[in-house]
């Protein structure tokens, strides 16, 4: 069965510093996708970044980058130059294809607090 | 551009009452549609997904049901709500090989 593990319930970072949020996954599928979403206190889920299992390079989107280590089955999110607005829950998710749909399996999330 | 609308934003219902949450998507055709539930302080649990009109798959046994009467409309329902149905409900859409995009969610409280 596919599983996402986020071992950090909470993380703290100083404004303008970088922070890494950990994510490990478990799957026997050769093809899969990994996602990170941000959930502010208002509740909406905001897509941040995507990494395909066959992608050779780590994904980057502005201040977000994904440190993809396939052999270790890890997909850590790196946020550079943290801002106060980055304070939120962050969820790692893996896509599995089944029955024509593309389902996401989510981790339990990491609460990031950015301190001024 | 594509947008997703989900309503209501908050809902307080008594135990045993019916439920209807609606989600609509604009700007895309034949999307995959999803209903998730998030318990307080937890990750998202997939409840239902749909790959087309009238095609609904349930992920977990529960007190809820889903319907897709139109291509871009997804409805979550219950005939009689239970206390355990409280939570934050999120609708999402996707097309093949693209990320899922979520609505703003509905906070459902059962009294």
**Secondary structure of chain B as H, E, C letters:** CCEEEEECCEEEECCCCCEEEEEEEECCCCCEEEEEEECCCCCEEEEEEEEECCEEEECCCCCCEEEEEECCEEEEEECCCCHHHCEEEEEEEECCCCCCEECCCEEEEEC
Q: Say how far apart CA B2 and CA B10 lie, in whole Å.
A: 23
Per-window interface: B 26-85 vs A, CB < 8 A: 32, 34, 42-46, 49-51, 57, 59
> Is the predicted pLDDT of residue A98 greater than 70, yes or no?
no
Say if CB A61 and CB A67 are below 8 A apart.
Answer: no
- Please state whether the peptide bond connecting residue B8 to the residue before it is cis, i.e. omega within 30 degrees of 0: yes
pLDDT > 90? residue A9: yes
Long-range CB pairs of B55-63 (<8 Å, 24+ gap) are: B57/A99, B57/A101, B59/A103
Residue A82 contacts residue A28 (beta carbons within 8 Å): no
CB spacing of A47 vs B100 below 8 angstroms: yes
pLDDT at A80 over 90: yes
B3 touches chain A (CB under 8 A): no
pLDDT (0 to 100) of residue A100: 59
Give the pLDDT confidence score for residue A49 in this predicted structure: 97
pLDDT of the residue at A84 = 97
Question: What is the Cα–Cα distance from A37 to A50, expressed in whole angstroms?
Answer: 9
Write down the pLDDT at residue A60: 96
Q: How far is CA B38 from the centre of its chain?
A: 11
Residue A64 has pLDDT above 70, yes or no: yes
Record the tokens describing residue B63, joined without a space. Answer: 């007190």
The sign of the dihedral angle between the CA atoms of B22, B92, B51, B60 is negative
pLDDT value, residue B40:
78
- Say which of B59, B101, B105 has its CB closest to residue A43: B105
- Residues ≥6 apart with Cβ < 8 Å to A13: A19, A79, A82, A112, A113, A114, A115
pLDDT, average across residues B25-31: 93
User: Which among A70, A47, A69, A51 has a CA at the least distance from the CA of A60?
Assistant: A51
What percentage of chain B carries pLDDT values higher than 90?
Answer: 84
Write down how long chain B is: 111
B105 closest CA partner among B12, B46, B21 = B21
pLDDT tier, A99 (very low <50, low <70, confident <90, very high otherwise): low
B32 CB neighbours in chain A (<8 A) are 100-102
Q: What does the pLDDT read at residue B96?
A: 82
């Amino acid at each position: 069965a596919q599983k996402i593990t986020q071992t950090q319930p909470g993380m703290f970072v100083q404004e303008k510093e970088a922070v890494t949020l950990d994510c490990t996954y478990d799957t026997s599928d050769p093809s899969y996708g990994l996602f990170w979403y941000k959930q502010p206190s208002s509740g909406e889920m905001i897509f941040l970044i995507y990494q395909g299992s066959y992608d050779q390079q780590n994904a980057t989107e502005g201040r977000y980058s994904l440190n993809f280590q396939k052999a270790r089955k890890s997909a850590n999110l790196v946020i550079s130059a943290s801002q106060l607005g980055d304070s939120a829950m962050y969820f790692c998710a893996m896509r599995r294809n089944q029955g024509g749909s593309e389902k996401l399996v989510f981790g339990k999330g990491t609460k990031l607090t950015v301190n001024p | 551009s594509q947008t997703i609308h989900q309503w209501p934003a908050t809902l307080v219902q008594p135990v045993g009452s019916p439920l209807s949450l609606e989600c609509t998507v604009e700007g895309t055709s034949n999307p995959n549609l999803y209903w998730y539930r998030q318990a307080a302080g937890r990750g998202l649990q997939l409840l239902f997904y749909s790959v087309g009109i009238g095609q609904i798959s349930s992920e977990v046994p529960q007190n809820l049901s889903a319907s897709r009467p139109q291509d871009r409309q997804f409805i979550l329902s219950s005939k009689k709500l239970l206390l355990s149905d409280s939570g934050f409900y999120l609708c999402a859409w996707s097309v093949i090989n693209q990320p899922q995009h979520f609505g703003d969610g509905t906070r459902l409280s059962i009294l």
